[in-house]
Amino acid sequence: MNETDIHSKLAGAVVSGVGALDESAKDPFVVVDPGSLVPAVTFLKNDADCRMEMLNCVTAVEREDCIEVVYHLSSVTHRHSLTLKTRVERPAGGTHESWIPEVPSVAALYASADWHEREQWDLLGVRFTDHPDHRRILLPEEWIGHPLRKDYVYPHEHGGMPLDLDAVPLYERDEATPSEPAAPRPSGTPLVQPPNPNSDRPDAGGVAPADSDGDLRSIKPGSNDGGGH
């Protein structure tokens, strides 16, 4: 069957909420309402002519006015595939970060949806209702924000680990001020090079080269000596 046949079957079976097939697209797709998503996917999976055994991919896409969740389904038996989309409109005046759209989960139908949906929640902040295990998957559980949103602000530090290019290395920081103030970072902060105490160490008894004076001073007592004793 091609996409047109599948679409007509689907539109006949699921009473409402199945949009027209967009045939002009490179991969023809069907838009369904979030409310009819689960019945539509159930039909596509169980119908003998469709038999979409495999859910290849779940993708959330942030667009200007909506967030779109795209399902790529394919059938190994019949060797056809279909793209299914569902859209959640952005509420008027809704800011990006605080707006969490909700879409029903299909994890009960496809085990593969479990991890894919968790990933979309993690990276794009789409909540899948009735998901069995709705946690972040790639980023640490305490991460703030959803990085694939267009207005995501990059963090300077996470869990005590510096993420900036010009951050001061952990072992260089003063004990009194364990963590650097994260934001705002003054522009033009010099890039701090990691000192390497051992390699700069002059031979014992030898004469330190005169021009390395400044380097020697930069080694703080108590900073980690790479080894040797």
Partner 1 sequence: MEALEMYTVDPNDDVYTEELKLNLGPQHPSTHGVLRVELKVDGEIITASRCDIGYLHRCAEKIGENVTYLQFTPYTDRMDYLASMNNNLAWSLTVEKLLGVEAPERAQWIRVIVAELNRIASHLIAFGTYGIDIGANTPFFYAFRERESIMALLERPSGARMLYNYVHPGGVAHDIEDGWLEDVLAFCDEFEMRWKEYNTLLSHNAIFIGRTANIGVIPKDMALDYGLTGPVLRASGVSWDLRRDVPYLAPYDDLEFDVPVGEGTHGTLGDCWDRYWVRMREMMESIRIIRQACPRVPAGPFMDKAMNRMYKTPLKPEPGEAYMRCENPRGELGFYVVAEGGTSPIRCRTRAPSFCNLSVLDALLPGTMIADGVAIIGSLDIVLGEVDR
Partner 2 sequence: MGVLNNSLPDIGPVRAVDSAIGWGRKSSIWPMTFGIACCAIEMMAVYAATFDLDRFGAGVPRATPRQSDLIIVPGTVNAKMAVRVKRLYDQMSEPRYVIAMGACVCGGGPYVKWGYNTVKGVHKIIPVDIFVPGCPPRPEALMDGILKLREKVGRNQVFARQAQTAADMDGRYAAAK
10 Å Cβ neighbour count for 10? Answer: 23
Rounded Cα distance between 175 and 24, Å, is 63
Task: Considering the complex, state which of residue 16 and residue 224 has its C-beta at the smaller distance from partner 2.
Answer: 224
Question: Which member of 34, 147, 155, 195 binds partner 1 (CB under 8 A)?
Answer: 147
Question: Which member of 175, 181, 204, 211 binds partner 2 (CB under 8 A)?
Answer: 204
User: 138: burial class by Cβ within 10 Å (0-12, 13-18, 19+)?
Assistant: exposed
Question: Which member of 46, 66, 171, 185 binds partner 2 (CB under 8 A)?
Answer: 171
Rounded Cα distance between 175 and 205, Å, is 32
* Shortest distance, position 1 Cβ to partner 1, whole Å: 15
Tokens coding 9: 């079957």
179 binds partner 2 (CB under 8 A): no
Q: Site mask, partner 1, residues 22-51, x = CB under 8 A?
A: ---xxx------------------------
* Shortest distance, position 220 Cβ to partner 1, whole Å: 30
Question: Which member of 140, 181, 186, 190 binds partner 2 (CB under 8 A)?
Answer: 140
* Shortest distance, position 24 Cβ to partner 2, whole Å: 32
**Cα 88 to the center of its chain, rounded Å:** 19
For 89-100, b where at least 16 C-beta lie within 10 A, e where not — what string?
ebeeeeeeeeee
Residue 205's binding partner among partner 1, partner 2, none (Cβ under 5 to 8 angstroms by kind) is partner 2
Size of the site for partner 1 (CB under 8 A): 31
Q: Return the closest-CA partner of residue 101 out of 152, 62, 153.
A: 62
CA-only gyration radius of the chain, Å: 27
154 binds partner 2 (CB under 8 A): yes
Which DSSP state fits 28? -
Residue 162 phi/psi, 5-degree rounding, is -70, 135
**Interface with partner 2 (CB under 8 A):** 139-140, 143, 147, 152, 154-155, 158-165, 167, 169-171, 194, 196-199, 201-205, 207-208, 213, 216-221, 223-229
